[in-house]
Amino acid sequence: MAHWRTDPEAVAQAVALGDRSAIAQAITAIESSNPRHRPLARRLLQELPTPETMTVRVGISGVPGVGKSTFIESFGRMLTGMGHRVGVLAVDPSSVRTHGSVLGDKTRMPELSVNPDAFVRPSPSSGTLGGVAKSTSQAMRILEAAGYDVILVETVGVGQSETTVATMVDTFLFLGLARTGDQLQGIKKGVLEIADIVAINKADGEHEKAARAAARELQAALRMVYTGHAGWVPPVLTCSGLTGLRIDDVWQTIGKHRDYLGEAGLLAKRREQEWELTWKLVRAELEDRLARDGGVRAIRDDLRRQVFGGDLAAAQAADEILRVFDAQPHGPSA
């Protein structure tokens, strides 16, 4: 078996044939933070074929405990049963900050992890959110080139990770919960603005009634928000990842969203996302360089003291940081 460090083109060809160890290698290559590996990763990516038919990219988000991994496990099983090949990727903001992880553990989806028609890849374990976003969008390319036609990108509902994932997928699915006394849990306003579909999960057993009531309530609220809007109003569904109840409804609704966008609309959306991601990546790289810059690090503590002491205004401190930063050579550093 070829190795990406010696023959990235051969690895790309093996990826195109669906070779699992080549896929794993290719993703390792693009996740590498070593700048010397970048040209190799680029060569590998260039060699990948573009899928002939449009793939389905779905983002799945929700607070920890909402049932994401359980849902993806049964959703993935249903899809592979329908003849799809399913890739699962994760964007885990906690791994960015602490190198620990809320998502990403393969054992969270034991069945899908060993399913020959699925490929589960945990979130890159370190890096900035921009770096993780870059790896994830490239990993998506790799899986699509390998013949995976449905890509599920999972993220925890924290901070910027949701909006980042939203710029990588066709349809953004938000999983919520209903509980008595606290009708809707973990549904933040910002999230509803990017959700294409909302599903109140764990709608089974004693929770089913509350879930349905919460879904109706949220649907009514959303209709109000979207009044006068000609476009897509996010449908609010109920489902149970645990029992599989109505997860087929979620899949059908994803199909409806795609029909609504149409092939040209989907393509336009992806191009726009690509451009948005371009700038996100540039900003992330610049922020990284700023954080690593030796000159900036050298003056940071001193400036902080001055700002805290009231001796220096923010604008002056910022000017000083930028002056020091501009004075350094800035290649992609190690």
Q: Which is closer to ligand GDP, CB of 44 or CB of 153?
A: 153
Q: Which is closer to ligand GDP, CB of 41 or CB of 178?
A: 178
Examine residue 65 and tell whether it contacts ligand GDP (CB under 6 A): yes
- Total of chain residues touching ligand GDP, rule CB under 6 A: 14
- Residues 225-264 close enough to bind ligand GDP by CB under 6 A: 240-242
Q: Are residues 204 and 90 in contact, defined by beta-carbon separation less than 8 angstroms?
A: no
Q: Which of 59, 67, 104, 124 binds ligand GDP (CB under 6 A)?
A: 67
Q: Which is closer to ligand GDP, CB of 79 or CB of 312?
A: 79
Q: Which is closer to ligand GDP, CB of 130 or CB of 241?
A: 241
Query: What is the closest distance, in whole angstroms, from the C-beta atom of residue 101 to ligand GDP in the complex?
Result: 11
- Segment contacting ligand GDP (CB under 6 A): 57-65, 81-89, 223-231, 254-262? 57-65
Q: Are residues 51 and 66 in contact, defined by beta-carbon separation less than 8 angstroms?
A: no
Contacts of 138 (CB under 8 A, 6+ apart): 30, 41, 45
- Residues 151-210 close enough to bind ligand GDP by CB under 6 A: 201-202, 204
Contacts of 272 (CB under 8 A, 6+ apart): none
Produce one character per residue of 168-189: b if its CB has 16 or more CB atoms within 10 Å, e if not: bbbbbbbbbbbeeeeebebbee
Phi, psi of 59 (to 5 degrees): -95, 140
Helix axes 68-81, 247-292, angle to 10 degrees: 120
Examine residue 64 and tell whether it contacts ligand GDP (CB under 6 A): yes
3-state secondary structure of 91: strand
Give the interface with ligand GDP as residue ranges (CB under 6 A): 62, 64-70, 201-202, 204, 240-242
